[in-house]
Structure 1
Amino acid sequence: MPITALKTLALAAGVSLIALTASAQSMTIKLATDSGAKGSPTGDAMEKWASLIEEGTKGDIKVNIFYQNELGGQQEIFDLFVANDVQLMINWPSTSYDERIGLLYTPYMLKSWDDAFNAYGQGGWLNGILDEVYSDIGLKFFGAWPEGFNGVATKGKYAKSLEEAASLKVRVPTMFPMAESLQAMGYQTASIDWSETFTSIQTGVVDGDAANVIYWDYEYFRDTINYYNRTRQQFITGVISANGEFWAGLSDEQKKVVADAAQVVMQDGFDAARTIDAGYVEKAKEVGIEYIEPSDSDLAPIARKVRDEVWPQMDKRIGQEIMDKVRANAAEF
C-alpha cells in the first residue's frame, strides 16, 4: 500500500478515535433518591444538582431524575446504585453493604447544629472517615445533605421517661444502630421499610415513627400522629454520592463539574435546613400535633445510657478505630 494511503488511513483512524472518545464523554445518567417526592426539599436539591451538572458540562451529561419509590424501595434503589444502574444519589443509605455506614446513625454523637456543621461541613471530621467507607464499597462520597435532629412521632400518647417508652412500639429503618438506639431509650421497635410506614401506623402495627426529622412525620403522617417528641438521638443527614465506576469514567473536567455542583447542593442544604425544620415545627403545631422539645439536661441521662449501651456494640460492628475518633470528637452530654 502506498505511503500516502497509509497516512490517510492513519489520519482517518485518528479522527474516528477522537470522535469515539468525544462520544464516550456524552451520556445520560440517573440521579435518584429513596426518600423525597417532587417538590420536597430532597427533590428540589436533586433538580438543582442535575441542572448544575447539565449546565457545567454544556449538555454532555444529561441527568434523568427519579424521585421516591419510582425505582423501588430503600434497599432496592441502593442495590441499583451500587450496581451502577443509578449513577448519582441523595439518599439515606442502607448498612447492608458495609455496617460502617452506620456511623451516620451514631446515637447522641452530636448535640447542636454547630456540632453537625463541624462534623459534616466541607473538611469536617466525619467526612474523611465516610469517604474511605464509601470508597471500599465502590462509591464516591461528596458530602452530607443535612435535615436536622430526629425524634419520636406517635399517636395516642408519648413517652416522658424510659418507663413510659416501654409501652410504645415504634418504627425504625432497617439500619444498624437505629433499632438498638431506640431500644436503649426504652422503646419496643419494629424495622419497617419507609414505604410501609404509613399503613403500619394507621393499622396499629406500630404506635409511630422514631427515625425522622419533623418534616417527614408532618408531610406523611400528620393525619395519624398526635405528638412529636424531639429526642435528638441522631442528626439525620442524607448523603450526596456517586457510583465509583461511573465516577472513574468521567473526564477530569466532568469530575470537577459534578463534585463542585455537589458542594453547592450541600452548602445550600446547611444554609436552609434549620429554617425548613423550624417552619415544619410551626406547621405541625397548626394542625394540632403537640411538639415536645426536651432540654439538654432532660436528654443528658438518656444520652449517656444510650451511649453506654450502643457504642460498645458499634465498636464491634463498625470498628474500634472509627469509634475512637467518634469519642474524641463527639459532643458532651
Structure 2
Amino acid sequence: MTDTNRRAMLGAALAMPFLAQPLGAQTTRLRFAHPHPESDSWEKAARLFAEQVRERTNGALTVQIFGNGALGSDQTIIASARSGALDIALTGNPFFTGMAPRLNALDLPFLFRDRQHVTAVLDGNIGKQLRSELEPHGLHVLGFWDIGFRNVTNSRRAVHGAADLRGLKIRTTPNPAHIKTFQLLGANPAPLPFTELFTALETRAVDGQENPTTLIRNARFWEVQKHLSLTRHAYTAGIMAMSKRRFEALTPAHQEAVMAVAQAITPQQRAMNEAADAEALAELKQRGMAVVESPDRDGMAAIVSSPVRKDFVDRFGSDLPDAITDAAA
C-alpha cells in the first residue's frame, strides 16, 4: 500500500462521524489501528477485542479495526491517538520511548529470561508504573501485548556471532537501546517504520532486520531475506493505548467494559503469539530460509548488555532495570 493510499484511508477513517441515536440506542464507534499483517495474532486478537466490547456493551460501543498499517506508520497512529483523532493505537513499545523514555527499560538487550519473566514484569507493579508514564502524553494504556523475542535476518550471510554482523546495515526501531546494541555489535543500524521495511529489504536499501519469527513469517520477509539467526537479543512488548481524551469521554460503565475486555484479551493474545513461534520457524525453514538456531548469544550479551544498560542507568537510575531483573527470580 502506498503512502498516498494510507493517507487517504487515514483521512477517510478519521472523518467518520460517531453515530448518535436516541438514548437507549446510541452507538459509539472506536477506531483501532495497528501496523501488523492480517495473519498476525494482533489482528486476530483485535477482532476478538472488538467482538467482546460490542457484546459486553450490547452494541453501544463498536470497534473498527485498521490493520496492516492502513492508517499510517507506527509514529502516525500514536500521534493520532494522542490528539484524539484516533481512538486506539497498538504498536511496539520502542515507538513510545521518544515521549516516555523510561519505557526504554523494556528494550534493554538480553534483559528478559523468558515469557514468564515478561508476564511477571508487565502484569505486576512494574507494568502498572510504566503504564502511568504515558498518561501525561494523552494515552491511556489498555494492555501490553506480545511481539516477542527479536531475531536477526539478512540477505548476505549467516550470523553465528557478533563478528558476522559487522558492516551489515540492519533496520531497527528508533529505540536508543536497539540502535546502541547494533552499533556495539559492529552493524550499521538504520531506523525505519515497520510499514516501510519490506520495500527496504526488497530493494536492498538495508541488508537485514530484527524481529520475532512470527512477524518475520507473517510479513513474508522470507521472500527478501535468506538468513535467519535466532539471537533472541531483546524482547519487545506491544502497547495497546487508547486516546486519554476519548477514554475519559466514555461513560464509567463503558470505561469499565473496555478495560475488562482488554484485560481478558491480553493473555489470550500473548498465548497465541507464543504458540505460533515454533510453527513460524518451521514454515520459514520450509520457505528456504537458512537458520542458525544456536548463535553465540553469550558472546553478544557480553558485548552489549552492560554498556546499553549503563546508558539507561546514567539517565534514569538503576531502580527500574534492577526491579525487572529481580522480578519473579
TM class, shorter-chain normalised?
0.7 to 0.9
Equivalent in the alignment of 2:203:
203
- The residue type paired with residue 54 of structure 1 is R
Counterpart for residue 309 of structure 2: 311
Q: In structure 1, what residue type is equivalent to 2:304? A: V
Contact 1:88 1:243 (C-alpha < 8 Å) held by counterparts: yes
1-structure distance, mates of 2:182, 2:209: 11
Cα-to-partner distance string for 1:74-128 (whole Å, 9 max, x where unaligned) = 11111101111111232214223222232332211102122222222xx324312
Contact map agreement 1:26 1:61 (CA 8 A) in 2 = yes
State the distance in 1 between where 2:316 and 2:199 align.
32
SS of 1:190's partner is: strand
Task: Tell me by how many angstroms 1:149 deviates.
Answer: 0.9
**How many angstroms apart in 1 are the aligned matches of 2:54 and 2:105?**
32
Match of 2:159 in 1: 159
Per the normalisation by structure 2, the TM-score is 0.85
- Aligned equivalents of 2:188 and 2:99: distance in 1? 26
User: Which residue of structure 1 aligns with residue 291 of structure 2?
Assistant: 291
The aligned counterpart of 2:147 is 147
Bigger mean CA deviation after superposition, 242-251 or 276-285: 242-251
Q: Which residue matches 1:16?
A: none
Q: Which amino acid aligns with 2:67?
A: Y
> Residue 100 of structure 1 corresponds to which residue in structure 2?
102
Separation in 2, partners of 1:294, 1:111 = 16
Aligned counterparts of 1:193 and 1:91: Cα–Cα separation in 2: 11
CA RMSD between the two structures:
2.4
1:320 offset after TM fit, Å?
A: 4.2
**In the TM superposition, what are the counterparts of 1:19-58 in structure 2 within 5 Å?**
22=23, 26-33=27-34, 35-58=35-58
Q: Return the TM-score normalized by structure 1.
A: 0.84
Which residue number in structure 1 is paired with residue 212 of structure 2? 213
- Which sections of structure 1, spanning at least 5 residues, go unmatched? 1-18
Secondary structure of 2:220's partner?
A: helix
SS of match in other structure, 1:199: helix
- For structure 2, which runs of at least 5 residues remain unmatched after alignment? 1-19
Query: CA offsets, 1:155-174, max 9 Å, x none?
Result: 12022222221132211112
Q: Is the 8 A contact 2:151 2:230 kept in 1?
A: yes
Q: Distance in 1 between matches of 2:209 and 2:59?
A: 41
The alignment partner of 1:130 has SS state of helix
Separation in 1 of the partners of 2:72 and 2:317? 31
Matched, 1:241 2:227: no
Q: Structure 1 residue runs of 4+, over 6 Å off?
A: none
The aligned counterpart of 1:187 is: 187
Which one is further off, 175-184 or 280-289? 175-184
CA distance in structure 2 between the partners assigned to 1:312 and 1:24 by the alignment: 56
In structure 2, distance between residues paired with 1:29 and 1:23: 18
Name the aligned partner's letter for residue 300 of structure 1.
Answer: D
- Name the CA distance, whole Å, in 2 between partners of 1:130 and 1:271: 22
How far apart are the structure 1 equivalents of 2:213 and 2:21? 50
Name the CA distance, whole Å, in 1 between partners of 2:25 and 2:237.
34
> Is residue 100–residue 319 contact of structure 1 (8 Å, CA) maintained in 2?
no
